[in-house]
Amino acid sequence: MSAVAFHRNPLLPFLEAKQCVSNELAYHKHFHEEYSIGLIDRGVTDAWCDGKSLQVEAGRIISFPPAMIHACRPQEDMQWQYKMLYIKPEWFQGLKQREIDQLYIPYLLEDGKNKACRLRLNETMDAISRKSTPLEIETALIELVQALVSENTSDLEHEGPSNQDQKYVIGIKEYLHAHFAESITLQQLEIETGISKFHLVRLFKKWSHIPPHAYQILLRINHAKIELAKQRPIADIAAELGFYDQSHFTKAFLRIVGATPHKYALSI
């Protein structure tokens, strides 16, 4: 018995996510045109990758570069559950060559790095499956890739304060303030700043302590409080602020304000 689900966002055409639960599904030798990053959630699978045999247990991440022949077969009498991200190669433009060279190697990660990357892969999958904003989905993906290529230290950790860095961050914030209700993408922020999305996310998080999508959510919630004070319908406010639905808006509002929009409106 098998159950397979795919997740996509039309504003992020470079990314596709897949979730699968199966006790019988096996994949013969094949390859993908995308870069593939997978996580085994349950069971054990025997993987064949470019002539090498690997055993991948639950909790382990495995990745394949584009065009690499591989195959996967779950071990018998096990319910196999996994998730995969498929990323088009052109999306990686902006990574440093050293990072690209390191990324395009199939591997199983060591325990510490595997744990960090597993967390970020799950965050990416959660964001795209619950139809979060494009900014949140792609930011989670970037943090996953940065964890994959990291040598345990950030490229920015040893950099001192920079006036140019602060100008970039100020520019990003100004754009977010002007467009907080819109479905902003990292590509738009790249165009505004002239720096790559990978550097942009690291820079913004370093100086603002939160990623751009979280800053955008704060702007939306602060504006929602003003609109709720006018006793406007909650559903209208949620739609105007770009939330997927009222439930999504309520969860975000509760996390930040500590009360639901309805309760907040009644208290005014």
How confident is the model at residue 165, as a pLDDT? 83
How confident is the model at residue 155, as a pLDDT? 41
Q: Read off the tokens for 213.
A: 């999508």
Q: What are phi and psi of 221, to 5 degrees?
A: -70, -40
Mean pLDDT across 210-229: 95
| pLDDT band at residue 74 under the 50/70/90 scheme | confident
Q: Which domains does the chain have, with CATH numbers?
A: 2-107 (2.60.120.10), 153-268 (1.10.10.60)
> For 127-155, what is each residue's pLDDT tens digit?
999 999 999 999 999 999 988 887 754 44
> For 63-73, what is each residue's pLDDT tens digit?
888 988 888 88
Distance separating alpha carbons of residues 146 and 141, to the nearest angstrom? 9
**pTM given for the model:** 0.85
Mean pLDDT across 22-39: 80
Distance separating alpha carbons of residues 107 and 61, to the nearest angstrom? 8
Comparison of pLDDT for 51 and 171, the residue scoring more: 171
Nearest Cα residue to 135 out of 180, 194, 87, 85: 180
Over 90: is that where the pLDDT of 56 sits?
no
Q: Read off the tokens for 167.
A: 């100008």
Mean pLDDT of the chain: 87
How confident is the model at residue 240, as a pLDDT? 95
